[in-house]
A = this chain, B = another copy of it.
Amino acid sequence: MGKILLQSVFHNNAECDILISGTTFSSVGKHLSPQDREGAEIIDCKGMAIFPAFYNAHTHAAMTLMRGYADDKPLFEWLNNYVWPLEAKLNADDIEIGSRLAVLEMIRTGTVFFADMYWHRERTMKVVEEMGIRAAIGVTISDKLTSPEGLEENFKFLKQHTGESERIQLVVMPHSIYTVSENCFKRSVEIAQKENYLLHTHLSETQQEVADCEKDYGCSPVELMQRFETLNSHFIAAHCVHLNENEKKLFAKSGASIVVNPCSNLKLGSGLPDIAGFHTHGISVALGTDGASSNNNLDMHEEMKIAALIGQLQAHNNGNVFPKETVLSLATEAGAKAYGIHAGKIAEGYLADCILVNKNDVQFTPCHDIVSNWIYSANTNTIDSVICNGKFVMKNHHIDGEDDILKEAQQRVKQILTR
């Protein structure tokens, strides 16, 4: 069992030693015996602070290939004339290259987990396995859109590949109520429940979606989820920009999680999710970046700051409503918890996922409160190292193979555009 000793690392406003044994934190801030230290790789963390790594609870990794593609076009022109035609050209190799680029960016910005809704999921799984982080990979269902994988093929895939990897779980992901037929959505729910999978979908992202749902089903999107019998603690909904008070209450009662994606919602003009309101309703709220094509990055730290600012506005700057510990947990522990992962905290028994940041940076100076500096002042520039599952995936700013990944992605995009 590998051991890493983070020596003299800044944690909870003091220096301490933290021991990682195997995949978990085995000692945090306690005195270590010579036996505890034996065989450990000792990392001198003087000048470094430790924070939980980020959990990106909703994204479309391979869309990183479309970062900044046809920005500034009105939404439907952008989708119809640019994004969808380009997406239709993507093959499995492209998805692998796009996923690798995405995971590189995530590691560099301190993210060790992502929930991914896309196609050719076996390629994204391969990349996650290789690069050492975690993921909830979706079998994406959308019978109203053209997608390479059909419903039954997806369920076969689920059965075949579940439990294959320590760091990867499979999740049933009907794309949305407007791209999945009623029968197909119900069948997805049935399989997920029977086989004990989580279910993740886009929900109530735009006013149009809500209006169409009222028209087609005579109820709101959240009520529809209740009718489909999926509004429970195994359900994770992305966006939720347009929930009414009753829908918030239904969510709170059900134990289901919401993943907010404020950057994407702002950029696409969809509206603002009621982040502070969800929190005061007692709903479990996690954070996601959505795809890089509408963000335009996968930087969870930036997403955390923007979510925090929106939360403060909604809470009318009443610090008691949305304090910094809640903000940090949104981007870390809450995401892990939504996907059933015992991680997102620097505490004994939790999975050893963390980042080391340079606290001598100007963004951490002065240091009245290091958590406040981390959320509101710093950026991912200050991240020196990233550990996932007890192993370094970035060490002193170095990630294995970075230059090749960048070159390959750049070249592949050029080639896709000429197809």
Chain A contacts to B: CB under 8 angstroms: 65-75, 78, 101, 104-105, 108, 263, 265-272, 292, 295-297, 299, 302, 305-306, 309-310, 312-313, 315-320, 323-324, 360, 362-363, 365-369, 372-373, 376-381, 402, 406, 409-410, 413
Contacts and interface: CB of A to CB of B under 8 A. Distances in A.
Contacts of A406: 360, 362, 365
Contacts of A72: 319-320, 323-324, 372
A266 B105 contact: no
A380 B382 CA distance: 11
A269 B365 contact: no
Contact of A313 (B269, B323, B363, B378): B269
A362 to B, nearest CB: 5
B297 A376 contact: yes
A317 B362 contact: no
A44 to B, nearest CB: 19
Contact of A68 (B268, B292, B372): B372
Given A267-B376, A268-B312, 20 more contacts: A67-B368, A67-B377, A68-B372, A72-B323, A72-B372, A74-B320, A108-B362, A265-B313, A266-B309, A269-B315, A272-B313, A295-B376, A296-B372, A296-B376, A296-B377, A297-B363, A297-B378, A306-B309, A379-B379, A381-B381
Contacts of A369: 68-69, 71
A372 to B, nearest CB: 4
Nearest to A383: B381
A195 to B, nearest CB: 37
10 contacts: A65-B366, A68-B368, A74-B318, A78-B319, A101-B366, A105-B363, A295-B377, A296-B377, A365-B410, A379-B381
Nearest to A72: B319
Contact of A309 (B66, B267, B366, B381): B267
A269 B276 CA distance: 12
Contacts of A380: 379, 381
A119 B65 CA distance: 49
In the complex this chain forms, how many copies of it are found? 2
Contacts of A105: 362-363
A310 B310 CA distance: 11
Contact of A266 (B313, B320, B363): B313
Nearest to A405: B362
A24 B406 CA distance: 35
B309 A263 contact: yes
A366 B312 contact: no
A409 B366 contact: yes
Nearest to A265: B313
Nearest to A408: B365
Nearest to A366: B413
Contact of A73 (B73, B319, B409): B319
A259 to B, nearest CB: 18
B68 A376 contact: yes
A82 B29 CA distance: 31
A125 to B, nearest CB: 21
B379 A319 contact: no
Contact of A317 (B70, B267, B306, B367): B267
B297 A74 contact: no
B379 A71 contact: no
Nearest to A382: B381
Contact of A376 (B71, B313, B373, B376): B71
